[in-house]
Amino acid sequence: MVLIAACWGTRAHAQAGTGGQVELGLLGTYTRFDNAAVGLSSDAGAGARLGVFFSRTFALEVRGDYTRTQDTAASQVDLSRLSGTLYAYAPPTAVGRFYLGAGYTRSFYRGGADLDSDGGHLILGDLLSLGERMGLRLEGRADYIPSSALVDPAAGALNLGAAVGLSVFAFGGPPRDTDGDLVPDKRDACPETPMGAVVDASGCPLDSDLDGVFDGIDRCPDTPSGAVVDAAGCPIDTDRDGVPDGVDACPNTPAGAVVDARGCPIDTDQDRVFDGLDRCPDTPHGALVDADGCPLDADGDGVPDGIDQCPGTPPGVTVNASGCPVDSDGDGVPDGIDRCPGTPAGRAVDVVGCPVLFAVAKAPLVLQGVNFATGRSVLTPESDAVLDEVAASLLAQSDVRVEIGGHTDNTGSRATNARLSLERAQAVKAYLAQKGVAPGRMEVRGYGPDKPIATNATAEGRARNRRVELRRIDQEQ
């Protein structure tokens, strides 16, 4: 079995047997005789063969073998066979060359018998190469003898046997090819070519992609020039960016980063976080980003740090493209937190951008523009804008308490005017409370016509006397 395994490891094209070659061999035999027709016991023997190959396919062989056996009476019988056989060989395979043979056999019986017989035979076998000039034969054989003459001359006999032989091939055959690359040693410029490598006419290995691994054993035959490869000829890519080591100009690319043809990471928005890892790939140029490549915005104004020229903008302030507050009415309170964005130029405002209610602490403030329907306490629509500013200012100054005073002219009865002035003050309080001013911060008074600020003798004077005033009361002793 060890010998057979060694044969299987031999290259098939080193198999002996080509046109003009001569084979000399010794063999051991074992024959199972047709007992009924021949009357001999099965036994082992030995022999020799001489063959000539006409080509790699056909050969002619003369073989002689000798077997000492016994007949049914236990008498010794010496059998000598002389055979002529024509062989046909199949192409070489990894397990040798199978062959089929047929021919003539002349059998000579001596000792307990003294006679000769003629017959034919068939042989099926396998020739295993043991190198350039040696081979191992394993074969089975069937001999048919039409008239055995030993038991019943009229009966035919079928003998079955097997043989194992060792042969030497000489006078021809393939030229010596030590490395088995099909280029004979005498013209092989590279006599130690590895098994399986493709060679040129001089016997030297080809390396089409110049990666140091020869064609035929290179599993990746199209490796880019300069790439580092493994033992199988496949490119190594340590950072797994798709660009092989050796041609990768940036061999330590982080996993997941998109790279260019040179293997270097791409950073389209130039924020120092590579494409493929950058969760915000369209970051404006110059913006500061976090580890994920997304812009930082410390003041939350929508303009990223790094390009924000006013980085400390208060929350809620409207900013321009540079991140700086916009102040449309120029009152010093930025848009977004300016509750009175239409303040006239030059008007003093409070912290929420609304006109200052009490420039002088104890002076009452006449709510210019707050008007009512004639003879009623219903606010006119144009009063809303004025009262909205008042509400915003009061909400921004939570410590301020006010008196809302209603005033009339002297037209009509005093009692009617007193009631009407109180109802109008209450209407203003209700409006301000609806806007969020706590009712407890507001007191109402109806003064009727008692505190005129102009003469009631003219229409203009009477119009000025019909008014609502705010007076700050939280600072009174």
C-alpha span between 242 and 477 (Å, rounded) = 84
- Residue 356 within any structural domain of the chain: no
Domain boundary pick from 170, 193, 223:
170
Q: How many domains does the chain have?
A: 2
The per-residue pLDDT string of the chain (477 residues; one tens digit each, 9 = 90 and over) reads: 433 433 444 444 444 567 789 999 999 999 998 877 778 899 999 999 999 999 889 999 999 999 999 988 888 999 999 999 999 999 988 889 999 999 999 999 998 888 888 999 999 999 998 877 899 999 999 999 988 767 667 778 899 999 999 999 887 655 677 788 888 888 989 999 999 999 999 999 999 999 999 999 999 999 999 999 999 999 999 999 999 999 999 999 999 999 999 999 999 999 999 999 999 999 999 999 999 999 999 999 999 999 999 999 999 999 999 999 999 999 889 999 988 888 888 778 888 888 777 765 567 889 999 999 999 999 999 999 999 989 988 998 888 999 999 999 999 999 999 999 999 999 999 999 999 999 999 999 999 999 999 999 999 999 999 999 999 998 875
Angle (nearest 5°) at CA 193 between 190 and 198: 100
465 SS3 class = helix
For residue 135, the domain's CATH number is 2.40.160.20
Residue type present at position 77: V
Residue linked to tokens 């009924």: 36
For residue 432, the domain's CATH number is 3.30.1330.60
- Residue 351 within any structural domain of the chain: no
- Residue 211 within any structural domain of the chain: no
- The single-letter DSSP state of residue 455 is -
- Residue 28 within any structural domain of the chain: yes
- Residue 408 within any structural domain of the chain: yes
- In this prediction, residue 1 carries a pLDDT of 41
- Residue 290 within any structural domain of the chain: no
- Residue 226 within any structural domain of the chain: no
Domain boundary pick from 115, 136, 170:
170
- In this prediction, residue 299 carries a pLDDT of 94
Domain boundary pick from 130, 145, 170:
170
**Backbone phi and psi for residue 3, each to the nearest 5 degrees, phi listed first:** -65, -40
Q: Which of 237, 259, 255, 234 is nearest to 246 (CA)?
A: 237
**Domain membership of residue 116 as a residue range:** 2-170
